[in-house]
């Protein structure tokens, strides 16, 4: 096959767009469930339609793609399903902001028109994230793209809701929930983020009803005291347990509050007396239910004080009410102390507004029966990597509360429940009812709420495969093989998928869960827009190419360790891509149009035998590391093999054979060179798909090699056990040691590269002597020496540069090569000049006036200069000592 010439420089952008389009148009990654091969399947964690690609996405996509491409190479029938999440609250917020700019609200449009408006936005903007996923080179099956709000997913959602309701696992009732005043909707517990914020602990005096004394209550939220319905003390607290059963007067309101005993009260916190406000605190709600307390809510759904509070506070916001209550308590002498107190405050995970506990009628999933199954399945059926996340998974399931699944928004799966106006019957059904199942009335009102977005994404592993229909995909690819995701949605998503998969498919949804770490900045700080340290993956792709970004992320993706990323590292791996490209260009200049039909296992020569041995070791390492999710090991193994071994050693060692007159030796070397290069490209392909594809289509082939031009479809290279040879490794280590030792002598003594040297090697055994003599021409070439003398009786002249390699003594005669007196004089001059400069910088840094008054960046720069000069001084001093040693 005639080869296609590679461009002089690797320009990733045209290459990436070309192959990205090729794979999609040719449906390279669209599997047939009826084809042979064990199934391997992954579902992409569906990004929000409102989202843009960030570095966490880039890492997640890279790791999933490595797994998918590698398993295709193992001959498996691989399906990677793409899709997006409708992101109820986030998407509705985006469209409502657009309406606000037009002077409109969703109520102005009405529900139906508003939903149409959101669909219009989705069609125009909502697939932007998918085009960005394409730029990463993700080998997903685009023909099976899913959306959590499309018809098939809607069918699955409705079936799950109806069946859980019929099983008694979904119910409707009054409960305290997390309420976002900004988004006007309920949130599940795990949709609330907690932030440490400065606050205050208010000590308030409550008088006992019988006039026998006072109780001091400490609270961070004095405004909610208007809804107090009890005071709780610990029955084991001798200070207060005698008061249990008595009552106290609620300040500013005047009503009597029962004093109850409960071990929940922390004797050590605050004053030991706890105000109980069941409508405005999750823990107080539980106390209220336990002691049958009255529930009074003083805030409406907008966070405004309502009619249940004294009239003077009605209509105030939470902040205004707090200020007014504090002022009134101080006026009555009941605010005894206000102490600074940092505490955890819940905020909405979408808009970051402070969350208010709120008693409301909502829909819930009873979680404990589902959680028990999900807990029991780990690790017996599903293994979590890294293993330490298993404990976190257990803790969440053990402490789980019922899941509030209703949301007071319009964009989402509307709850399939109707209430009969005439008899009050609640109807939940797969098909929209036309009349009441109890009284026959046609006056049915549908529930206004929609389902939590996570409800639909909890079904993702099987809904994306066509459930509830019986599909070939479902039969072939469920359960999925591995889920790759971030730890932040271990509860939001992973645990819920486990529950739903076990409940509706009676199988876990995935065999493995790989939790990847965070991508931080180079200092280890979390990336955020406010900090200004965000590295945009799309910018990096534009500057350095997708392959460079992918390789960087893979090389630092050590299990359980966060990634410290910098643009310089990505740029560095762009240089690695260039190294691969240039090495290929060199190889192709020395390969014929048709590769010789030579058996590489019979190739002679140290270089050929050694590189073939290392190739087999790399195959084993790559396969094992991928199976164990040691992604960094994949990248580091390939980097070392390609750059240090293939490029720096092998290509240099085979030049004499490639340029020589021995046609048999040349042909064998060409076949080895082609074999190593082509198989390395296949192994590298899962990490860097674009450059490897471009190179593969440019490589010549042996006669009869009818493999596809599409490297993504090729199998992993087969092992050649007969090429494994530990003896050749020992020989190569000796050879490399001699060459490197000679090069180091030249470098340390500042001998010009062009100056020819002689090399003396005093050997300690005949076996190694034979190896060195057999490769003396290569030693001369790579170490750049003229004459090499090898033997047990070799003696070095007094003025020689020396090194010891595996017991063998190397010597480079320096008489006539180095002018010792001139060199020492030059070193002394440089050292004196350096010491003078260092003295000036040290003086500046020891001056308090400079250190205290100069900008921090200026001071750090001076410290850096001093450190560099100290390092340079050490090098010059060591060189001087080495020269004096040689002279001596």
- Largest CA-CA distance found in the chain, in angstroms, rounded: 114
Find out whether 869 and 841 touch, Cβ atoms under 8 Å: yes
Residue with structure tokens 């965070």? Answer: 518
As given in the structure block, the two tokens for residue 585 are 């260009």
d(CA 811, CA 98): 78
As given in the structure block, the two tokens for residue 291 are 């002691």
Query: Which helix or strand (DSSP H or E) is residue 519 part of?
Result: strand 519-521
CB-based contacts of 527, cutoff 8 Å, min separation 6: 54, 55, 519, 520, 521, 533, 534, 535
d(CA 483, CA 515): 8
- 529 appears as a binding residue in the annotation: yes
Instruction: Name the CATH architecture for the domain at 561-704.
Output: Orthogonal Bundle (1.10)
pLDDT of residue 1: 42
pLDDT of residue 887: 66
Candidates 405, 444, 403; CA nearest to 424 is 444
As given in the structure block, the two tokens for residue 670 are 């060409």
3-state secondary structure of 377: coil
In this structure, the number of other CB atoms found within 10 A of the CB of residue 274 comes to: 25
CB-based contacts of 736, cutoff 8 Å, min separation 6: 649
Residue-by-residue DSSP string for 203-225: EEEEEETTSS-EEEEEES-GGGG
Which superfamily is assigned to 199-341 in CATH? Valyl/Leucyl/Isoleucyl-tRNA synthetase, editing domain (3.90.740.10)
pLDDT of residue 878: 74
d(CA 420, CA 831): 95
Start-to-end C-alpha separation, the chain: 63
d(CA 246, CA 80): 65
pLDDT of residue 199: 84
Cβ density class 675-685: b for 16+ within 10 Å, e for less: bbbbbbbbbbb
Average confidence (pLDDT) per 10 residues, the chain, 888 residues: 74 92 97 96 94 92 98 98 93 91 94 95 89 95 97 98 98 84 71 80 95 93 95 94 95 95 90 93 89 92 91 94 96 93 76 80 94 96 96 92 90 97 96 95 96 96 98 97 91 93 98 94 83 91 97 94 92 96 95 92 94 98 97 97 97 94 94 97 98 96 91 97 94 95 86 88 93 94 94 85 86 80 74 88 89 86 88 78 70
Candidates 490, 478, 484, 486; CA nearest to 513 is 484
For CA atoms 125, 131, 136, 140, give the dihedral sign: positive
3-state secondary structure of 6: coil
CATH of 12-159+456-543 given 3.50.50.60, 3.40.50.620, 3.30.930.10, 3.40.190.10: 3.40.50.620
Find out whether 690 and 545 touch, Cβ atoms under 8 Å: yes
Rounded to whole angstroms, what are the CA distances from 366 to 260, 363, 403, 404? 29, 10, 7, 9
d(CA 351, CA 90): 8
Candidates 147, 141, 142, 130; CA nearest to 78 is 141
Residue-by-residue DSSP string for 268-294: TSTTSEEEE-TTS-HHHHHHHHHTT--
As given in the structure block, the two tokens for residue 605 are 């020569």
Instruction: Name the CATH architecture for the domain at 820-887.
Output: Orthogonal Bundle (1.10)
Q: Phi/psi at 595 (nearest 5 deg)?
A: -70, 135
How many residues does the structure list for the chain? 888
3-state secondary structure of 590: coil
As given in the structure block, the two tokens for residue 147 are 């959306």
Find out whether 804 and 767 touch, Cβ atoms under 8 Å: no
Rounded to whole angstroms, what are the CA distances from 616 to 56, 338, 371, 675, 816? 33, 71, 46, 12, 46
pLDDT of residue 348: 78
Residue with structure tokens 């009255």? Answer: 294
As given in the structure block, the two tokens for residue 114 are 């508003």
pLDDT of residue 423: 96
Q: Tell me 562's DSSP state.
A: -
d(CA 35, CA 26): 17
């Amino acid at each position: 096959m005639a080869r296609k010439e590679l461009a002089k420089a690797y320009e990733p952008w045209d290459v990436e767009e070309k192959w990205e389009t090729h794979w999609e148009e040719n449906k390279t990654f669209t599997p047939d469930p009826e084809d042979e091969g064990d199934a391997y399947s992954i579902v992409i964690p569906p990004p929000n339609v409102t989202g843009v690609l960030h570095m966490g996405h880039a890492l997640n996509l890279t790791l999933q793609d490595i797994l998918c491409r590698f398993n295709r190479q193992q001959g498996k029938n691989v399906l990677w399903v793409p899709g997006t999440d409708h992101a109820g609250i986030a998407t509705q917020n985006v469209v409502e902001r657009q309406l606000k700019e037009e002077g409109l609200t969703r109520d102005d449009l009405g529900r139906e028109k508003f939903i149409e408006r959101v669909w219009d936005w989705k069609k125009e903007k909502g697939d932007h994230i998918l085009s960005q996923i394409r730029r990463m080179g993700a080998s997903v099956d685009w023909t099976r793209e899913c959306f959590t709000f499309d018809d098939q997913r809607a069918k699955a959602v409705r079936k799950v809701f109806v069946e859980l309701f019929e099983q008694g696992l979904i119910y409707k009732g009054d409960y305290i929930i997390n309420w976002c005043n900004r988004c006007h909707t309920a949130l599940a517990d795990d949709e609330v983020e907690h932030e440490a914020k400065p606050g205050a602990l208010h000590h308030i005096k409550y008088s006992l009803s019988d006039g026998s004394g006072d109780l001091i209550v400490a609270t961070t939220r004095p405004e909610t005291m208007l809804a107090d319905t009890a005071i709780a003390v610990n029955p084991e607290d001798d200070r207060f347990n005698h008061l249990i059963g008595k009552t106290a007067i609620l300040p500013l309101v005047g009503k009597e509050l029962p004093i109850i005993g409960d071990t929940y009260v922390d004797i050590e916190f605050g004053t030991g007396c706890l105000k109980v406000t069941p409508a405005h605190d999750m823990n107080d709600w539980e106390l209220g239910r336990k002691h049958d307390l009255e529930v009074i809510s003083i805030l409406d759904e907008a966070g405004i004080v309502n009619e249940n509070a004294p009239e003077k506070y009605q209509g105030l916001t939470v902040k205004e009410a707090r200020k007014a209550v504090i002022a009134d308590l101080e006026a009555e002498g009941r605010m005894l102390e206000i102490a600074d107190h940092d505490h955890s405050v819940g905020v909405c995970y979408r808009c970051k507004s402070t969350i208010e506990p709120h008693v409301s009628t909502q829909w819930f999933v009873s979680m404990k029966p589902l959680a028990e199954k999900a807990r029991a399945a780990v690790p017996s059926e599903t293994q979590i990597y890294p293993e330490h996340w298993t404990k976190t998974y257990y803790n969440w399931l053990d402490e789980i509360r019922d899941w509030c699944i209703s949301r007071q928004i319009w964009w989402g799966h509307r709850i399939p429940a109707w209430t009969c106006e005439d008899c009050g019957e609640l109807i939940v059904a797969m098909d929209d009812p036309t009349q009441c199942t109890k009284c026959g009335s046609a006056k049915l009102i549908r529930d206004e709420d929609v389902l939590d977005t996570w409800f639909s994404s909890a079904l993702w592993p099987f809904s994306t495969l066509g459930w509830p229909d019986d599909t070939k995909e479902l039969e072939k690819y469920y359960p999925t093989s591995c889920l790759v995701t971030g730890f932040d949605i271990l509860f939001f998503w992973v645990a819920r998928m486990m529950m739903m998969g076990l409940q509706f498919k009676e199988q876990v949804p995935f065999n493995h869960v790989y939790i990847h770490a965070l991508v931080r900045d180079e200092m280890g700080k979390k990336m955020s827009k406010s900090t200004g340290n965000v590295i945009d993956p799309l910018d990096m792709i534009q500057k350095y190419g997708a392959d460079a970004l992918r390789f960087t992320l893979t090389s630092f993706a050590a299990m359980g360790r966060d990634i410290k990323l910098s643009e310089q590292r990505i740029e560095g791996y762009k240089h690695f891509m260039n190294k691969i490209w240039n090495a290929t260009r060199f190889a192709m200049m020395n390969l014929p149009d048709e590769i010789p039909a030579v058996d590489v296992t019979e190739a002679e020569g140290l270089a050929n035998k050694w590189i073939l041995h290392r190739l087999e070791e790399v195959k084993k390492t790559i396969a094992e590391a991928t199976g164990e999710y040691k992604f960094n090991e994949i990248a580091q193994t390939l980097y070392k093999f390609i750059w240090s071994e293939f490029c720096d050693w092998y290509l240099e060692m085979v030049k004499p054979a490639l340029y020589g007159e021995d046609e048999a030796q040349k042909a064998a070397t060409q076949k080895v060179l082609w074999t190593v290069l082509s198989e390395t490209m296949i192994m590298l392909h899962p990490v860097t798909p674009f450059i490897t594809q471009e190179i593969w289509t440019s490589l010549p082939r042996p006669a009869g090699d009818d493999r596809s031009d599409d490297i993504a479809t090729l199998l992993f290279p087969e092992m050649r056990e007969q090429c494994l040879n530990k003896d050749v490794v020992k020989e190569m280590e000796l050879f490399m040691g001699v060459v490197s030792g000679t090069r180091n002598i030249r470098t340390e003594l500042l001998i010009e590269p062009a100056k020819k040297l002689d090399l003396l090697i005093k050997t300690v055994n005949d076996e190694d002597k034979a190896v060195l003599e057999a490769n003396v021409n290569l030693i001369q070439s790579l170490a750049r020496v003229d004459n090499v003398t090898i033997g047990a009786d070799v003696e070095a002249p007094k003025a020689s540069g020396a090194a010891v390699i595996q017991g063998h003594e190397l010597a480079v005669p320096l008489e006539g090569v180095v002018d010792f007196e001139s060199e020492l004089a030059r070193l002394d001059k440089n050292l004196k000049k350096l010491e003078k400069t260092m003295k000036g910088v040290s003086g500046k840094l020891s001056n308090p006036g400079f250190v205290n008054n100069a900008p921090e960046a200026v001071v750090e720069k001076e410290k850096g200069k001093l450190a560099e000069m100290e390092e340079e001084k050490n090098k010059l001093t060591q060189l001087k000592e080495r020269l004096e040693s040689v002279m001596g």
